[in-house]
Structure 1
C-alpha cells in the first residue's frame, strides 16, 4: 500500500488526503472542502497527525472557491491551531501574488514596473485566510505555476496549471463561482444517450477562479496520479503537449481526479485521448447544476481505450444516469469509496 487516496465527503467540493511512503507516514492534503461532515473528518485527520507526532508534508489549496477553501479557513481559525504541523503550503492568493507576478514580468521582459490601478474584487474567504496566515507568521509557496516541479518527501510533483498569463488575469479580475443548492434538478442531461453527448461540441465555459486552479501529476515510485482541481481542459492539453504527450503518446496514470466535479465544461474528448487511464475519481454529490454531468462522463467513457472505473465519494445511483444497455455496451463501473480510501498499488499495472 505505497499510495492511498481518501476523498472526503465535501458536498460539491474537494477535500483529498494522499498518504504515501514505505511506512505510510507522508501526507498531502488537497483542499479543505465544504460542509460539516467534511470538516469533522478533516479534524479527525489533523488530530491523528498530532497523536502520531506526524506532520503534513504539503497542503495544496488549488484555488479560492468556497467548496475548496472553506474547511481550511475553519481549521486555521481555531484558536490553538498548530501551524508547525504543516511543512509546506501552496496558495496562489494575497498581496504577495501581485508583487511576485510583477517581479517575474520584470525578469522576463526587463520592463519598467508600473503600478496597476485595477480595482481588485477580493473574496472575503481568501482574504480572511491570508490574514490568518500573516498573523501566524506562516510562509507559503509564492506563485506555484505550470511546469514547476517539486520533490516532496520522496514524491515528485509536476504542475500542469495555472499558467502565468491566467494568474495575471485572475489577479486583476477576481471572479467567484458559487453554488448553493445541492439537490438534483431538471438541468441534468441524464436522459440523453451517451453517444449523442459524446458527439456534442465541447464548450469550455469556466470562471477565472477555476482557470487559476492548481493541477498536477503526482509520482511516487512507480505510481502516477493526476489531480485536475477545477482546471481548464484547454490549459491542461497545452501543458501536456508541451511536456511531449499526445494522443499517440499519452500520459499514463493510475488514476485521475476529474476536473470541477465532473462538469461538462472542464473535460474535453481530446484531453481524455491524451491520457491512458482506466480509473477516475468523481468528487461530488448530486448538485443542482447537474453534476456529475453525463456529458463529462460520456466523454471519458467513449474516448478511453478500455472500460473505465469511476470512484465516487458519494453513493450515487448511476442506473438513473446510464441505461442498462449503455452499461453493458461500455462496461463502466461505479465504485463508492469507503473510509479506507483507494490503494493505488492495487490499481497499478
Structure 2
C-alpha cells in the first residue's frame, strides 16, 4: 500500500494539488486551488468527502498571489463560512500585512509630485477585481465588492488565528537552522522544509507595491485590510514582459538535439510575483516530495545546497512538481543536476503561454537518462507529438502519462499519483 496519494486537479493553466498521507489518521494538505471551475468541478467534491469521513484539512497553502492559483480558493472561502464544507487547521498565505511588517522597512520614498489621491487609486484597483479564467464564460458581477479577495475573506471568515500560525502569524519565509534549514512539523509524522521564498524574494515583491504607492497622497488614511486587498489584485495582475525568443520545437525527432537543447543558456524568470512562491519539501515517513509552485530556480538551488549532506550530493525525491507549469524560465539544468526522481508532475492545459516548454522537457529527460522516469501531465501537452516518440522514449528512458484531453471528451478527470 502506498504511503502518500497526490491528486493533481485539472486546474486549466493553473495549479491545485491534494496530498493525503496515510496512517492511523490521514493528513490532508491542499496546495493551491486553481480557478473557480477547478473548485466547482473537482476540489469541492473531494474536500466534502474528507469532511464526511470526519477528517480535516491539516494545511491549506496558497503559494503566491496569482489567479491560476487562488481563484478557486476565493470561491471556497465564500462558501466555507463557519467551516460548513470542511474544517481547516491552518492556512499559509503571504499577504501584504505579513510582507510589509518585515520587508516594508524602507519607508515610502518622497517624490516631488504626489498628485494621485490614495483612496481613489485603491478603489480603482479593487474595482478591477481579479482576472477571470481564459476560455471559460462566467457571469460577471456588476461591481467588484470589497472583501471579495483572498485576504479579505480570510479576515472576514475568522481565520486570523489559523493564518500562518506555524510562523507566529508572520510571513512564510525560509529560515536557517543549525542543520541547514528550519522545518515545520504539521503533526508527529509530516514535516515541511521551506525552500522559497527567502527574504530577498519578499522584499522584491514589496518593492513592486511600494513603487506604485509612492505616487499617492493620503496612504496613512487607508485601512490595513483595504490596502491588503488592493495589493492582492495589483500584484495578481502584474504581467512579466519578455522579448520573444527563438523557439526550439520541431527538433525533437533528432536524438542528438535533445542534449543540445537541454544545455542551452538558461534565461531565468525574474518576476517578483513568481519569486514570492512558497515552495517546499514535504516528508512523511520514508517519502519525500518536492513542490516547486512557480518558484525561481536560483532560490531553490541555493537552499537545496544547504541541506546536502556532502558536496555534489544528488537529492532524491519520490515525486517532483515542476515549477511554473513547465516554463523554460523556471527549471534550470543546474537545478536538475541537484535533484532526481522517478516521477515528475506538470500541471497545465497550455492555454496560457503554451506551457510546458520543450526546453524544460529536454532538461528533465536528459538528466540521468539511464534512470527510468514517469512524467505526469494533467492534460495532454501541446508538445505531445514531439515528445511521444518511441526512439526518444527508448533513448532517454521515460514514459508519458496524461489524464485529460478535451478533444477526447475528458476535461475534469483527476490525476492520481501514488507514492
RMSD across aligned positions (CA) = 2.8
Q: Do structure 1's residue 287 and structure 2's residue 334 form an aligned pair? A: no
Structure 2 equivalent of residue 311 of structure 1? 376
Q: CA deviation at 1:342?
A: 1.1
Structure 1 equivalent of residue 250 of structure 2? 191
Q: CA deviation at 1:96?
A: 3.6
How many corresponding residue pairs?
Answer: 328
**Which residues of 2 match residues 81-120 of structure 1 at below 5 A?**
82=83, 85-101=87-103, 115-117=107-109
Structure 2 equivalent of residue 159 of structure 1? 194
- In structure 2, C-alpha distance between the alignment counterparts of 1:205 and 1:214, rounded to whole Å: 16
Structure 1 equivalent of residue 230 of structure 2? none
Q: Per-residue displacement from partner, 1:280-311 (whole Å, max 9, x unpaired)? A: 00111123422111100101111235232101
Q: Do structure 1's residue 144 and structure 2's residue 172 form an aligned pair? A: yes
Q: Is the 8 A contact 2:60 2:92 kept in 1?
A: yes
Structure 1 equivalent of residue 409 of structure 2? none
Which of residues 267, 278, 294 in structure 1 aligns to 2:331?
A: 267
Structure 1 equivalent of residue 302 of structure 2? 238
Q: CA deviation at 1:137?
A: 2.1
Q: Per-residue displacement from partner, 1:171-197 (whole Å, max 9, x unpaired)? A: 221444679xxxxxx986431342331
Structure 2 equivalent of residue 331 of structure 1? 397
- In structure 1, C-alpha distance between the alignment counterparts of 2:336 and 2:394, rounded to whole Å: 21
Q: Per-residue displacement from partner, 1:190-236 (whole Å, max 9, x unpaired)? A: 31342331121011034111000011000000000000000001110
SS at structure 2 position matched to 1:75: helix
Q: Per-residue displacement from partner, 1:115-170 (whole Å, max 9, x unpaired)? A: 33599987855981111111122121121111442101220000000001110120
Structure 1 equivalent of residue 274 of structure 2? 210
> TM-score normalized by structure 1?
0.85
- In structure 2, C-alpha distance between the alignment counterparts of 1:341 and 1:212, rounded to whole Å: 28
- In structure 2, C-alpha distance between the alignment counterparts of 1:278 and 1:36, rounded to whole Å: 31
Q: CA deviation at 1:328?
A: 2.5
Query: Is the alpha carbon distance of 1:289 and 1:266 closer, same or farther for their aligned partners in structure 2, counting shifts above 3 Å?
Result: same
- In structure 1, C-alpha distance between the alignment counterparts of 2:305 and 2:77, rounded to whole Å: 38
- In structure 2, C-alpha distance between the alignment counterparts of 1:237 and 1:77, rounded to whole Å: 37
Q: Per-residue displacement from partner, 1:9-67 (whole Å, max 9, x unpaired)? A: 00111000000131462100000012524432111122222212211000011001100
> TM-score normalized by structure 2?
0.72
Structure 2 equivalent of residue 168 of structure 1? 203
Q: Do structure 1's residue 253 and structure 2's residue 328 form an aligned pair? A: no
Which of residues 155, 175, 197 in structure 2 aligns to 1:134?
A: 155
- In structure 2, C-alpha distance between the alignment counterparts of 1:45 and 1:81, rounded to whole Å: 19
Q: Do structure 1's residue 321 and structure 2's residue 386 form an aligned pair? A: yes
SS at structure 2 position matched to 1:260: helix
Query: Is the alpha carbon distance of 1:54 and 1:208 closer, same or farther for their aligned partners in structure 2, counting shifts above 3 Å?
Result: same
Query: Is the alpha carbon distance of 1:315 and 1:23 closer, same or farther for their aligned partners in structure 2, counting shifts above 3 Å?
Result: farther
Judge which range, 124-133 or 222-231, deviates more: 124-133
**Which residues of 2 match residues 12-31 of structure 1 at below 5 A?**
12-23=13-24, 25-31=26-32
Q: CA deviation at 1:78?
A: 2.2
Higher CA-based Rg: 2
Judge which range, 26-35 or 314-323, deviates more: 314-323
- In structure 1, C-alpha distance between the alignment counterparts of 2:93 and 2:374, rounded to whole Å: 31
- In structure 2, C-alpha distance between the alignment counterparts of 1:311 and 1:236, rounded to whole Å: 22
Judge which range, 326-335 or 310-319, deviates more: 310-319
SS at structure 1 position matched to 2:71: helix
Q: Is the 8 A contact 1:308 1:333 kept in 2?
A: yes
- Gaps in structure 1 of 5+ consecutive residues: 103-112, 180-185, 345-349
